[in-house]
Amino acid sequence: MNAPKFAVSLMCMDFAIAGKQVSTLSQHADSFHLDIMDGHFAPNLSLSPAWLKKVLPNSSIRNEAHVMADDPDMWLEPLADAGVNVVSPHVETLNTHAFRTMNAIRSLGMGTGLVLNPLTTFDSVVPLLERIDILTIMTIDIGFAGQPFIDEMLAKIEQAAAFKAEHGLNYEIQIDGSCSEKTFAKLRAAGAETFILGNAGLFSLNRDLDQAWAQMRANYERTTGETLPAED
């Protein structure tokens, strides 16, 4: 298995100093995870393309938008204009136009992702797996940070990892929800490759984000027994 990757959820940042925090975390993280919510599909509101356009110039790493919206297509051009590199809509919103949306994302020069809610089966996305760069498996219900981890999702992660290996595919298995020292080991054992860090996994560890990152790495290594590559 490849070395793990770590994404940071911008929704959990201090918005008053978001630009500074993005600059700091760009030195450590592999990507930023950008939650876009419409207040309908997800019962909350979060980041907007206009806000991202102001903040993302501080980023020097991959910027991935997680689109929790009834109509993901309407967000594609604004997100591309804001500097997003990968767009990940929810499969639950793509029943009538999944392949058209994937093609639209590619046509705007962005990578493609898909997100599965906890009750959505892995089998439902099999026809699209050859077309995506990232498969995000939710291990909490969408909408709010700080929810308890749903252990039943480990089997879905195992399915995604087994299918990827069996068919020689390249999608990145990313986990969204309660990634922390309490879950790193079981997620990694199931086949997780990228961990999205929020309050529990990063921001609550230390107000100094360089120190918080060092603590997160120590937590990961201690709980998984895996030595992380040295940072550049």
- pLDDT at position 145 is 66
Domain extent, residue 150, equals 5-224
Give me the CATH number covering residue 18. 3.20.20.70
Catalytic residue check, 208: no
- pLDDT at position 95 is 82
Catalytic residue among 30, 123, 151, 176: 176
Catalytic residue among 14, 30, 35, 71: 35
Q: How far apart are CA 111 and CA 87, in angstroms?
A: 6
**Overall domain count for the chain:** 1
Amino acid 165 reads A
Quote the pTM value: 0.95
Catalytic residue check, 176: yes
Q: How far apart are CA 197 and CA 167, in angstroms?
A: 29
Domain-embedded: residue 98: yes
Domain-embedded: residue 229: no
pLDDT digit of tens for each residue in the chain (232 aa)?
789 999 999 999 999 999 999 999 999 999 999 999 887 777 777 789 999 999 999 999 999 999 999 999 999 999 999 999 999 999 999 988 999 999 999 999 999 999 999 999 999 999 999 999 999 999 988 766 667 889 999 999 999 999 999 999 999 999 999 899 999 999 999 999 999 999 999 999 999 999 999 999 999 999 999 999 998 7
Domain-embedded: residue 230: no
